[in-house]
C-alpha cells in the first residue's frame, strides 16, 4: 500500500502545483487540513475515498486521474474533463462524467464523449439516459 500512497501523493503534489496552489490553499478548498495534504503528498498517509474525492473536486480533476489510473492528457479523460468543466453541460452528462467507476467500466472514447456533448436535449436527461445513448451509439456503428 505504501507504493500506492506515495504514487498518489506525488500526483496530488504535481497537480496542486500545476494549479498554482499551496498545500494550505488546497486544504482550504477541500475542507482538509494542510497537515493532512502534506502527509498524503509525502506518502505518509493514504487518503480515504472521501478525502481523495474532496481533493479531486478542489483540483477540478477526477479521482481516477488523481490516483494515476488514467492520464488526464489521455484521450478517454479529455472529453470527460471537458464535460465536467463546461458550465452549461447538461446535469445528466456531468453526473456521468463525475462517476469514476461507471466511466471506467464503460471506457468512453473521446469520439463518444464528443457525441454525448453534442446532444442538446429540450429537457434535462438523467445520467442513465446518456448511458443508454452510448449503448445505442455502440450498437449502431458499422462493423470495423
Tally of helices (H runs) and strands (E runs) in the chain? 10, 0
Give the separation between CA 94 and CA 73, rounded to whole angstroms.
Answer: 19
Give the pLDDT of residue 6.
Answer: 79
Cβ pair 9, 41 in contact under 8 A? yes
- CA 108, distance to chain mean position in Å, is 13
The residue to which cell 500500500 is assigned? 1
Cβ pair 2, 43 in contact under 8 A? yes
Residue stretches of the chain with pLDDT short of 70: 1-5, 69-77, 142-144
φ and ψ at residue 40, rounded to 5 degrees: -70, -45
Give the separation between CA 104 and CA 106, rounded to whole angstroms.
Answer: 6
Ordered domains of the chain (ranges, CATH)? 2-66 (1.10.260.40), 75-140 (no CATH)
DSSP string, 59-76: HTS-HHHHTTSS-TTSHH
Amino acid at each position: 500500500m505504501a507504493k500506492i500512497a506515495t504514487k498518489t501523493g506525488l500526483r496530488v503534489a504535481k497537480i496542486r502545483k500545476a494549479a498554482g496552489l499551496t498545500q494550505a490553499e488546497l486544504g482550504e478548498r477541500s475542507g482538509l487540513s494542510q497537515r493532512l495534504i502534506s502527509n498524503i503528498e509525502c506518502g505518509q498517509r493514504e487518503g480515504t475515498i472521501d478525502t481523495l474525492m474532496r481533493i479531486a473536486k478542489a483540483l477540478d480533476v477526477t479521482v481516477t486521474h488523481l490516483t494515476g489510473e488514467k492520464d488526464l492528457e489521455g484521450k478517454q479523460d479529455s472529453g470527460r474533463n471537458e464535460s465536467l468543466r463546461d458550465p452549461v453541460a447538461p446535469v445528466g452528462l456531468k453526473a456521468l462524467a463525475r462517476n469514476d467507476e461507471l466511466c471506467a467500466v464503460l471506457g468512453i472514447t473521446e469520439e463518444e464523449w464528443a457525441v454525448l456533448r453534442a446532444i442538446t436535449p429540450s429537457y434535462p436527461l438523467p445520467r442513465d439516459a446518456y448511458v443508454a445513448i452510448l449503448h445505442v451509439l455502440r450498437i449502431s456503428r458499422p462493423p470495423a
